[in-house]
Amino acid sequence: MGQTAYTLSEITETPESAATPDVVRVRASSKTTKAVAKLSSASDWSESELRAEGFAANPTTLGALQVACRFTDEEAAAACCVSSRTWRRWRTEGNPDPTAVRLLAILAGFVPWDGWEVHNGLLFPPGYRRGGIPPGEFFALVFYRQQVSEYQQLNARLKAKLEALEAKHAASAPSVDPA
């Protein structure tokens, strides 16, 4: 699937950022997101901002993403395929592997498609809370498309046979004069 690329196009000073020197407004592409220059707990971010910042590999989101995933230190380390010692070092030094941060953002529910969300391992389109799509259905999507194609071809062949039979039947049937 495609990935969203963010490019820095403008940094503006806002009244909010003037009061707190740690915070500036950053315009990334056409979206405005909150960026924090210093390490913080990210406790003032909304869930969607946290996940988006995590997907952008912001190292300050690591601890909050771990909490959002409901992972213990051992579970988080296992999810990132690192030792518990490495995980603890990442947490204390604030310098985690960016790929691990992105992975935790995805496991916390971030989907790089506007409006889509993941809850309990199911993908939900914008506005839906029921009928999520499990991973198995994505794997089966290729086969569903093949089936649709086969059924369309079969339907076209049967339609052609039916039209031929109707034409043959119309030609061999005696004409009835309604008068």
Average pLDDT of span 129-152 = 88
Residues 6+ apart with CB under 8 A from 28: 6, 7, 8, 9
The residue length of the chain stands at: 179
Q: State the pTM of this model.
A: 0.47
Mean of the per-residue pLDDT values of the chain: 76
What pLDDT is recorded for position 24? 34
**Helix boundaries (H) for the chain:** 15-19, 47-55, 62-69, 73-79, 84-93, 98-107, 135-172
Average pLDDT of span 47-62 = 84
Average pLDDT of span 12-35 = 38
Q: Is the pLDDT of residue 33 over 70?
A: no
Average pLDDT of span 38-63 = 75
What pLDDT is recorded for position 179? 62
Average pLDDT of span 37-42 = 45
- Identify the top-confidence range among 33-47, 61-75, 144-158: 144-158
What pLDDT is recorded for position 29? 35
What pLDDT is recorded for position 152? 96
9 φ, ψ (degrees, to nearest 5): -115, -20
Average pLDDT of span 90-103 = 90
Of residues 133 and 155, which shows the higher confidence score? 155
